[in-house]
Amino acid sequence: MARSTSPKLAVPDAPVNGVNSAATTDSATGALARRPALSNLLISLRPDQWTKNLLVFAALIFAQRLFDLASVAAALEAFVIFCFLSGVVYLVNDVMDRDSDRRHPLKSRRPIAAGELPVETALTAAGLLCAVSLAAAFTLGWRFGAVASVYVSLQVLYSGPLRHLVIIDVLTVAIGFVLRAVAGAVAIDVLISRWLLVCTILLALFIVLAKRRHELVLLGTDASSHRAILGEYSPYLLDQMIAVVAASTLIAYIFYAISDETAAKFSTEWLGLTIPFPLYGLFRYLYLVHRREGGGSPADLLLNDRPMLACVTLWVIAVVLIIYRPWEL
């Protein structure tokens, strides 16, 4: 492919983890130069990451509303709203991180870091999408609108001061996942299960810590120069945190699956049969993190690793069959 004649971005020439950042950025610019602004904007919204918003449907399944058309419609609307709100957050993050992203071997390919999507365009689009999405959120009820507003506010704070506070940074990202689950419950007007909150935040912490570890290992000695907070962590420290959270996640799910409260709610004790799925899923994730250098993008890992995708899919099918027992209808 012909090399782009557009001017190189003003980035350092020092190699990052063995990769020359200036060459990487210039190559990324050449790859993106032919894309129209709308395409670059869509890429910056990161639709490939919207699978994280599937947590919105957790309440729909566990509140036994899966076959209630009104609830399904509300959950779908909530999902779409959170997809656009998370896109707004990605735009703001990319604008704030554009200088450091240019020194990153992978993030330098993002349209804003590569200079293919102007900052003014990104911020204007973020503002418009945020206003429209929040307006739509309040049509689902003031409580859902409030949760959506808290989600955006928290993520904006993370893009500012919170990302520089050790441990608080990963907790903030994890709470963003919890708010997705809470929003799903509020959207269909059901009680928010304490188990839903506990399992969600523990699993989210597991994923976020694994992502931190991947970034730390990928950037090596240049990690702190890319993002100062990474200097506060080490692979060993993160491994200790991941071990604690992984064990806690499994214990929480096991207690939920076999509890008398759960058996009474669903009129069955069979939910315990689903325990092998999260057990395998967590172990598979750890394997990919430690042996395949995965974990940098949880969404990509889920979609591209067939055993992981099969595990999650089979778990969902098993849960639906056990809770709803269609053969009894």
Query: Which residues sit opposite 16 in a β-bridge?
Result: 19
Q: Are 74 and 140 in contact (CB under 8 A)?
A: yes
Q: Are 323 and 266 in contact (CB under 8 A)?
A: yes
In degrees and rounded to multiples of 5, residue 313 shows phi and psi of -65, -45
Q: How many CA atoms lie within 13 A of 28 on its CB side?
A: 26
Give the model's pLDDT for residue 100: 76
Residue 37, CA distances (Å) to 119, 121, 246 in order: 12, 9, 42
Token readout for 32 is: 């993106």
Q: Which helix (H) or strand (E) covers residue 275, if one does? A: none
Write the pLDDT tens digit of every residue in 163-219.
889 999 999 999 999 999 999 999 999 988 888 899 999 999 999 999 899 888 887
The whole-angstrom separation of Cα 22 and Cα 258 is 55
In degrees and rounded to multiples of 5, residue 15 shows phi and psi of -70, 145
Give the model's pLDDT for residue 206: 95
The whole-angstrom separation of Cα 54 and Cα 32 is 29
CA dihedral 96, 224, 226, 88 (to 10 degrees): -30
The 10 Å CB-count burial string (b at 16+, else e) for 254-287 is eebbeeeebeeebeeeebbebbebbebbbebbbe
Give the model's pLDDT for residue 3: 42
Token readout for 262 is: 């759960």
Which residues of the chain are under the pLDDT cut of 50?
1-33
Residue 36, CA distances (Å) to 28, 39, 179 in order: 15, 5, 34
Residues in Cβ contact with 186 at an 8 Å cutoff, skipping those fewer than 6 apart: 141, 143, 144, 147, 192
Give the model's pLDDT for residue 42: 86
Give the model's pLDDT for residue 329: 59
Give the model's pLDDT for residue 19: 44
What is the full DSSP assignment across 5-38? -SPPP----SEETTEEHHHHHHHHHHHHTTS-HH
Residues in Cβ contact with 79 at an 8 Å cutoff, skipping those fewer than 6 apart: 53, 54, 56, 57, 184
State the Rg of the chain over Cα. Answer: 21
In CATH, the architecture of 45-106+117-192 is Orthogonal Bundle (1.10)
Residue whose pair of structure tokens reads 């992978």 in the numeric block: 106
The whole-angstrom separation of Cα 109 and Cα 297 is 15
Give the model's pLDDT for residue 34: 59
Closest to 235 in 3D by CA, of 289, 292, 198: 289
Strands (E), the chain: 15-16, 19-20
Which amino acid does the sequence have at 266? F
